[in-house]
Chain A
Amino acid sequence: MASKINLRSILRIEGATVFFALALLVVFSSIFAPSFLTTENLSNVLVQSVFVVILGIGITYVLISGGIDLSVGSVMGVAAAICVFCLNAGAPLPFALLAGLATGAAAGLFNAYFIVVLGFADFIATLGTLSLMRGVVELMTANSRLNSQDPGFMTLAAGSVGGAPLAVIIALIVALVAGVILARTTMGRAVYGVGLNPKSSFLAGVLVRRVRFSVFLVSGICAGLAGILLASRLSSVHPAMGTGYELTAIAAAALGGASLAGGRGSVLGTALGALFLAVLQNTLSLMSVNAFWFQIITGVIIVFAVLLDGGIRRFLNQRSMV
């Protein structure tokens, strides 16, 4: 009995399922891809996961509140473009970084204005932003390339502190701050409340509109940061930068236990979900899996991981009803 109770309580911890899935994957990778467990490769995988981790954290806020943000991939691109544009115009690095983050924030506020103030469906409003922002990136980069060899800027993604990649440390800090806010503060709990039941949250005194406004702001800022880091990694911005990342970030959040219907999800879960996707991609590359099977396997594993999560959740609900 005691062990069963332990299992239940372990499975109840946020992100437990995806943690086990990740652990399983790591064991598999270590066996079948001999170079997986090298320091070089692990450092690569962590850096590779950073962009989706940060993007996913923003998306997680939106998903928990019961919304969706499809614009983040394009917002990444615009924020990166503005940041590098400022650098090339001679702005000091901190100003350029702030400009990039502010671009992300502005995009978030833009979404929030249409959704919260004007009452547009978030799916449609953010789809509009997705297209609009992509157009801006293309305008800014199609004919004149945006590159930066600024050493400080390149350090963001390529540098390291005490052996740990700087980008990974940045992602850790973001995850820590976002996680604590979401799990430990009134504002964070209000996000869950709004996602579970906006009406009763409103009756309980939660400022629903303010919460919905702020989740899109958070998502925009995260997208801005992810874009800046990606631009640093590639030391340039290209027209297609960030295309499709919104879906990968949503997949990471879903793997981490976030519900597309709102009210459920966690920063830790999403971060582990993003790490899972990065390790999966890395392992299949190390194993030289055929590119088309690569896609099929990725799809199948994502579906299975979500199924597993759903199964465990049902199992837990049944047990708790007894």
Chain B
Amino acid sequence: MADNDKTEGSNGLSRRRLLGTGVAGTAVGATMLSGIFNASHALAQEAATSLIWGDAAWRKTVTDIVAGRTLTVGFTGPAASEFYDEIEHGAFAQMRAYSDMFGVKWNWTYASPQEHQDINDQVNTIEAWVTNRYDAVLVCTAGDFESMQNVYAKAEAAGTRVFQFNMPAELWPEDQNRAISNIGYNNTMQAGYLAGRYIAEKLGGKGKMLLIWGLPGHWSTARRKGLDIALAEYPELQIVGEQRGDYVRDKALNAAMNLLQRDPNINAIYGENEEMALGASQAIQALGLKPWDGTDGIITIGADGLKSGYESIQQGQMTATVSVGAVDQGRQSIDTIFWNLIFGQVPPKVFNVRTQVVDKSNVEEPLAYVNWALSVPKV
């Protein structure tokens, strides 16, 4: 028994010791590992920041000037949608990056009007933000600069700086433009024109096409202009039908169905935004027609660069889209606000981000980029 006890005791002891060593060992291992990890992480960060963008001294200078300040920013678009969500996530990514690098804090508010494109609702919201003395407001509106100028004047007087995003700034003379900067893209040449060129090149400049338009307003005006410029070079590429889809999928689906039933012998459909191009793709499927396979079928092309659009392209439903740099618009907006608000740096009145026609041949990178942005948590 005693032996047994002893054995058990020693066994127990050895077990305990083993356990102890195990725990200690794990702890040491973990410390070492995390040490290595931290070191390599820091090294990577140092390398990245010193080789690509600034060094520790510059970062410290910026951080000291920022002094942990909180920037309060209001963000309002014309409607709640996947597109504006992507822009917002681009902004989240940049805000987080600057928080990590420079210790700036962000107080971010999102608002969209209850009714699609209700400008007065947006004016009301901005007035409330100005009352609360926000540092900056980021506005995208269906209204033009004239409709916003009263509230922008109020904002200026109260010290709230106005920035606009995703507006076709090319439609207005710069001196009428009260915003400090417009972060967006040229709707005429960087969206409508590109879509027209894509269709013309794929069809060899010949064929019949349908157009589905969003709500009347400056976006459709600008994209139409670009499309017309592109099509002017191809007289044999004809527009045989147009209808409204009001930027939503169900209306565009109906519009495309009706147009295709009248004449199924169509080579391309341009949806002014991606929701509508997706609706047109669904109409092609529903009617048993053939989507574009690279040589034959009906081309559908939209504009936005949505995750759901890229996935549709991968699945061979929608042919192509013009990515209008939603994520970059969000990132650039924050970049502009940060350097303007804290350092007084003057941004260009119009800052256009890169856009790109995306189809099956090049969809991987834009999709991965959007996936990254959408994975960034809210601020």
Chain A contacts to B: CB under 8 angstroms: 35, 38, 40-41, 44, 48, 51, 138, 141-143, 145, 147, 149, 154, 157-158, 230, 233-236, 238-241, 243-244, 278, 281-282, 285-286, 288, 290-292, 294-295, 298
Contact = CB atoms under 8 A, between A and B. Distances in A.
B150 A154 contact: yes
Interface string B69-95: 000000000001000000000000000
Contacts of A238: 117, 119, 142-144, 147, 217
Contacts of B221: 142-143
Given A51-B120, A285-B128, A286-B132, A145 B110 contact: no
Contact of A291 (B80, B120, B144): B80
B273 to A, nearest CB: 16
A154 B149 CA distance: 11
A84 to B, nearest CB: 10
B31 interface: no
A182 B121 CA distance: 30
A294 B131 contact: no
A154 B147 CA distance: 11
Interface string B118-137: 11110111011101110000
B252 to A, nearest CB: 17
Nearest to B124: A48
Contacts of B116: 240, 243
Given A149-B146, A234-B119, A286-B132, A295 B114 contact: yes
Contacts of A298: 114
Interface in B96-117: 109-112, 114-117
B216 interface: yes
Nearest to B77: A291
Nearest to A234: B147
Contacts, number: 103
Contacts of B215: 239-240
Contacts of B220: 142
A240 B217 CA distance: 9
A241 to B, nearest CB: 7
A239 B216 contact: yes
Contacts of A145: 144, 146
Contacts of B80: 291-292
A46 B129 CA distance: 16
Interface residues of B, number: 35
B144 A44 contact: no
Given A141-B216, A239-B216, A233 B150 contact: yes
Nearest to A294: B111
Given A141-B216, A145-B144, A238-B147, A44 B120 contact: no
Given A35-B133, A240-B215, 5 more contacts: A51-B120, A145-B144, A236-B143, A239-B217, A286-B132
A145 B168 CA distance: 14
18 contacts: A35-B131, A44-B128, A51-B120, A141-B216, A147-B144, A147-B146, A233-B123, A234-B123, A235-B146, A235-B150, A236-B144, A238-B144, A238-B147, A243-B115, A281-B121, A282-B124, A285-B124, A292-B80
Contacts of B118: 240, 243-244
B144 A290 contact: no
A290 B110 contact: yes
Contact of B125 (A143, A241, A285): A285
A149 B19 CA distance: 82
B26 to A, nearest CB: 43
Interface string B132-170: 110000000011101111100000000000000000000
Given A48-B124, A142-B221, A291 B117 contact: no
Given A44-B128, A141-B216, A240-B215, A291 B147 contact: no
Interface in B293-316: none
Contacts of A290: 110
A270 to B, nearest CB: 19
Contacts of A278: 124
Which 3 residue pairs are nearest across A and B when measured between Cβ atoms? A142-B216, A285-B128, A244-B115
A183 B180 CA distance: 52
Contacts of B217: 142, 238-240
A41 B119 CA distance: 19
Contacts of A147: 144, 146-147
B333 to A, nearest CB: 18
Contact of A41 (B115, B121, B128): B128
A286 B118 CA distance: 19
A230 B216 contact: no
Nearest to A44: B127
Contacts of A48: 120, 124, 127
Contacts of A40: 131
B168 to A, nearest CB: 12
Most chain A CB atoms below 10 A, which of B132, B150, B217: B132
A260 B143 CA distance: 34
Contacts of A141: 216
A241 B128 contact: no
A306 to B, nearest CB: 18
Given A142-B216, A291-B80, A291-B112, A236 B127 contact: no
